Amino acid sequence: MKKDSKAGKGGELHQTSSDPNSTITTQQGVPVSDDQNSLKVGSSGPTLLEDFVVREKIFHFDHERIPERVVHARGFGVHGYFETYKSLSKITKADIFQRAGEKTPLFVRFSTVAGNKGSADLARDVRGFAVKFYTKQGNWDLVGNNIPVFFIQDGIKFPDLIHAAKDEPDTGFPQAATAHDNFWDFISLTPEAMHMVMWTMSDRAIPRSFRFMEGFGVHTYRLVNAEGISTFVKFIWKPKQGLQSVLWNEAVKINGADPDFHRRDLWNSIQQGSFPEWELGLQLFDEDFVNKFDFDVLDPTKLIPEELVPIQKVGRMVLDRTVDNFFAETEQVAFCTSNIVPGIDFSNDPLLQIRNFSYLDTQLKRLGSPNFAQLPINAPKCPMMHFQQDGHMAMQNLKGRVNYEPNSFGGPRENPATGFSSFPEELKGPKGRHRSETFADHYSQARQFYISQTSIEQDHMADALIFELSKVEKLSIRELMVGHLQNIDEDFAQKVANGLGMKTMPPPAKAAKPTKKELPPSPELSILKNGPNNFKGRKLGILVSDGADVKCLSSLKAAAAKEGTDIAIIAPTIGGIDASDGSHIDADFKINGGPSVLFDAVAVVVSPDGAAMLANEATAKDFLSDAFAHLKFIAYNNAATLLLTKAGIDSSIDEGFVELKVSTDAAKFFKLCHKLRVWDRQDKVKMPS
């Protein structure tokens, strides 16, 4: 077998598929003479048991699927690095935060929660946002979501939540959807979930891309400095690309057109050199704040508004490399909330405490061995020294005679000075199964989140609840949910009740504590109030035909390049078109394979003959009618007016249309696209979110 120039010490798999002189081998390295035929008695006889080549090949095939994750099964991972802005030595001894400008390698896995590996990307769902930092003091896993709170307050309820949210056990459906009786039955009987419900019914649950969403550590942690002084902290990722979501009708159609939409978007962005970035923000607070805050910071169904504790940005994450092998990296990566390093410590959050137990146990089940940390994607990039040994799939075992400590032969020893030590918090209280009274306010922050949204976002939340609860067959569950909503906002509850066709309003749900209606709006909780105000990193779809004006196309391409916007050419056939000057332009999509839902804005540049031909093409009319209904900006040349008319669109209806008459119109169009959506059009379209 031809040697790979990057070969290690042995036991590594080296793919040389691009080398025609390489030879396929068995797992034992034995060269294979025939990989097309099994060993038989004669040309038509039975296969022989001694055929170790086929036995190994089939054996491995039979076992190549490992159990998928119970939650977050559908995910996508990429590599990158974290760059520290400044030293944080005053508040933490964590090595990653000691030196300004230092870069630490990391791996990120984004995911949905409820669906299986085969589900679609655009389900209405929470998104996982898990980061593995390969620090010089070991691996730190910051395992979070794109929503800062969670459904439950105590980890003992996690199996019940997930059982209720997953497909129903008798039917096996719905998949990757919470619009069914089991989920809403559980939620209606779990008031603590109402804050999270408001987030999951908001546009946060249908992000436009992994690149355009925030990430949250959810729980309160501790930072500990070299003197042993502790500071409470919440971790937040802020995307430098800005926030963006899709409409519900759009999400449904994206799932049909490209169920891998989020995965493909992230892959293409990195492959094209447009590396997504996030800044890591810290909310730092002490015991005085804890004692004065209206809510318990250990309650995972609560957040701390940024207006009360501003975010300090301490570094940036850049994602710049895709995986070489999806299974080896994305599928086998094992995140554990218990993976922390000196200088970072846990709080007594009862959900976090049980996550620390659950994740480690889950990885053993999935990966089949206590040695999963030896897999390259999970292995630390700093030295490892311990006396653990053996077990299934042990790739690294001890050398020499010593496998215990203490011993008199030498080897690694504990180091009180640099080793991890837990913060010496003083604890007291009776042993028992308790729920703190400070966790009892279930509606105040849910209300605060609601009033922090724009009217457009509030309408989307009502539409989402109406859609979900309309799928619930049991009337009493729908009534209980509307009763909870009354404790959040009466007008909002009435809007949902009207949408469900309720003749009378059910009574408000009994509240353990009354709703604090005096809490002020928090503008940072709204997507639309925190828009990017640019079109960088987005995608423009250009529908073209033979004879399309090449000058018009060139002006769009030049303006897109200046804006940092990707473009895609959609044509009647995948073979592309011949432009007005006779040049050939390749297509990225055939019209029925490149619907407008895949793009953030669209343009139509066609010839008169092309417009007449496309006017009889249903998918071409859908391309425009969907773009219009989804509130997207639309550019067009004069010949495309016919196609707009055939699609039932009046280009004078709002500011969302730009006719491309001169070269400067392209720049004008992209400036409008900074708003991302023509929100004024929503009342005219009347399309549910």
What positions carry a catalytic annotation?
Answer: 72, 145
The helix (H) or strand (E) run that includes residue 110 is strand 103-112
DSSP states of 167-219: --TTT---SS---SHHHHHHHHT-GGGHHHHHHHTSGGGSBS-GGG--EE--S
Angle between helices 490-499 and 475-486 (to 10 degrees): 160
Peptide bond into 406 cis (omega under 30): yes
Q: Which is nearest to 526 in space by CA: 129, 57, 199, 308? A: 199
The helix (H) or strand (E) run that includes residue 459 is helix 455-470
Distance CA 354, CA 121 (A): 28
The residue behind tokens 């009763």 is 483
Distance CA 529, CA 62 (A): 51
Query: Structure tokens of 373?
Result: 């940390």
Distance CA 382, CA 434 (A): 41
566-571: strand order across its sheet:
589-590, 566-571, 539-544, 601-605, 634-636, 657-659
Distance CA 669, CA 657 (A): 8
The helix (H) or strand (E) run that includes residue 541 is strand 539-544
Q: Which is nearest to 129 in space by CA: 262, 320, 297, 296? A: 262
Pairing state between β 584-585 and 539-544: unpaired
SS3 content of the chain, % helix, strand, coil (to 5): 30, 15, 50
Maximum CA pair distance of the chain? 90
Residue 74: partners with Cβ closer than 8 Å, 6 or more residues away: 111, 112, 115, 116, 117, 118, 119, 121, 176
Cα 220 off chain centre by: 21
Q: Which is nearest to 643 in space by CA: 654, 666, 656, 627? A: 627
Helix (H, G, I), strand (E, B) or coil at 312: strand
The residue behind tokens 């891998």 is 260
DSSP 8-state code for residue 521: P
Query: Structure tokens of 271?
Result: 């492959």
